[in-house]
Amino acid sequence: MNKVEMKDSLEDYLRYAQVERGLSKNTISSYRQDLIEYLAFLEEDNQTTWEVDAYVIDSFLAKQRDLAKATASITRMISSLRRFYKWLLRSDIIMRDPMIKIDSPKKERRLPVALSHKEIDELLAAPNISQPLGLRDRAILETLYATGMRVSELITLKESNLHEELNLIRVIGKGSKERLVPITDVALSWIEKYQKDVRDSQILNKGKYTDFIFLNAHAHPLTRQSIWQLIKKYCQQVNITKNVTPHTLRHTFATHLLENGADLRVVQEILGHSDISTTQIYTNLTQKHILEVYKQAHPRT
């Protein structure tokens, strides 16, 4: 097999991926980029066939790492090569698949961003509660921080989900799974104030009833984007420079609970994580906090 034949088989594969598998143009473009880069490496290495030893592919991936490619990019590259080599094997262009000996790199787990106690206090106090939407926004921020619920859970929260006498909220999470989440008296008081002073009269004026708690100016349920925008607005207002999203309040909730001695299993239950390893990432944040406190407090550091 020569260079032209290798290029032809690559193009045949891309046509197959687009026509037979119905992959998007963007996906095909990514495959093409990855495979052409791989082909160029094989040519430089004087390889004249796709059927190479695994160490050749390892050398190619090592070069990608030397170029400081992100782990996600290398993982995508490996995925592209896996699919391509399976196709080459099925098409009898190669006799064995060298990719079976190639491991995917472990996915990097970035520590989530969390706000400090000072930052969360400033953010919660940012809305102008003398204005109807400001009062609503204060209730939203207090609820997110008090419960750690996802933004998708917040915008679908209904009055019938509130159990004020028990300080609990029934939350509908991923996969329509229900869980009971504790909520503070402070957050409940802001929700009640928003309902009494804003929401109830808003619904009355619009002449239509809805069970959703948090509404926009037209008495319609809020969107994920609108929650994101209001958080960004208030962060700018109080000069918080971190990249804060609605999920940041969920991270902050979990981090502050663990910093104050909460049991990891309890936090897992509140957050609705099916796997405790998802919750354990917050322990890295609390350990970082412990180290900072230690350095500040110990006279010999």
Residues known to be catalytic: 150, 174, 247, 250, 273, 282
Q: Coil, strand or helix: which one is 114?
A: coil
Selection from 136, 138, 146 nearest residue 181 by Cα: 146
Which amino acid appears at position 22 of this protein?
A: G
Q: How many residues are recorded in the chain? A: 301
Shortest CA distance to 262 belongs to which of 119, 148, 110? 148
Whole-angstrom distance, CA of residue 5 vs CA of residue 10: 9
CA distance 37 to 185: 59
Q: How far apart are the first and last CA of the chain?
A: 65
Helices (H), the chain: 3-19, 25-44, 54-66, 71-90, 117-124, 132-147, 151-155, 185-194, 200-206, 224-237, 246-259, 264-271, 276-297
Provide the CB-side half-sphere exposure for 47 (13 A, CA).
Answer: 21
CA pair distance 38, 61, nearest whole angstrom: 9
- Rounded to the nearest angstrom, the gap between the alpha carbon of residue 210 and the centroid of all alpha carbons in its chain is 30
